[in-house]
Amino acid sequence: MHSLIYDFSTGILEDSEKKIGLIKRTIADTIDIYENKDVTTEKGKELAYFVQSHDPQPNIEGALQFGTSNLLPGDINGEFYMTKGHTHEIENRAEYYFGIKGNGLLLLMDENRNTKIEEVHSNSLHYIEGYVAHRLVNIGDTTLVVGACWNADAGHNYDAISEDGFSVRIMKSDNELGYEIRRGK
């Protein structure tokens, strides 16, 4: 019998039919998003995050896709590890994120570059409206694990973010929060 298991305490997806996708991104794959891109070749080879996903009806209008993002802890020259960030290719497609483990921030930037920041932790729930660019930042010292559910036909558009970035950057700090929000472009 086909079994599809989601472990709600670890975010791990398991499918007896092995139809789970896996995307891995190294520091080098994502280096363009950081303000100070100065890293060694060795550092560039390290894993920044991986995403497991279950997408039984790829690109079908009305179908859903489900996944878990695992963002490692660390920083690049004082800027916390983060996902590339994107809007959806079909821009009106919304998405839910939910925190499983670790401590992070979700950056939500609208079309006017106004950014809202939500704290991500175990049991936090986040509704991402269509047209809104979204990025996870790991501000903790353990892997940030975040579940997600979105339309299978949404697609990812990385172009605008890779050109103009988000309007804020999350930097390491000695203050009581451990991070500082800096205005970007």
For residues 44 and 27, the answer to whether their CB atoms sit within 8 Å is yes
Q: What is the contact mask toward ligand PAN in residues 132 to 171, using x (rule: CB under 6 A)? A: --x-x-----------x-x---x-x---------------
Interface positions, 117-136, toward ligand PAN (CB under 6 A): 134, 136
Part of the chain binding Zn ion (CB under 5 A), chosen from 51-59, 93-101, 108-116, 139-147:
93-101
Backbone angles phi and psi of 90, in degrees to 5: -90, 100
Give the position of tokens 């998405």: 95
CB closer to ligand PAN, 43 vs 84 = 84
The alpha carbon of residue 57 and the mean position of all alpha carbons in its chain are separated, in whole angstroms, by 22
Of 11, 52, 86, 109, which one interacts with ligand PAN (CB under 6 A)? Answer: 86
Of 67, 99, 104, 147, which one interacts with ligand PAN (CB under 6 A)? Answer: 67
24 counts as binding ligand PAN under rule CB under 6 A: no
Nearest alpha-carbon partner for 154 in 70, 24, 69, 65: 65
Would you state the structure tokens that stand for residue 134, as one six-digit string?
């979204």
Which ranges constitute the DSSP H helices of the chain? 27-30, 41-44, 159-164
CB closer to ligand PAN, 51 vs 160 = 51
Cβ neighbors of 176 (< 8 A, separation 6 or more) are none
Nearest alpha-carbon partner for 81 in 135, 122, 40: 135
Part of the chain binding Zn ion (CB under 5 A), chosen from 8-16, 95-103, 107-115, 117-125:
95-103
85 counts as binding ligand PAN under rule CB under 6 A: yes
Nearest alpha-carbon partner for 134 in 92, 91, 85: 85
**What is the size of the binding site for ligand PAN (CB under 6 A)?**
14
Min dist CB 8 to Zn ion, Å, is 20
Q: Which residues bind ligand PAN (CB under 6 A)?
A: 51, 67, 69, 83-86, 95, 134, 136, 148, 150, 154, 156
Q: Which residues bind Zn ion (CB under 5 A)?
A: 95
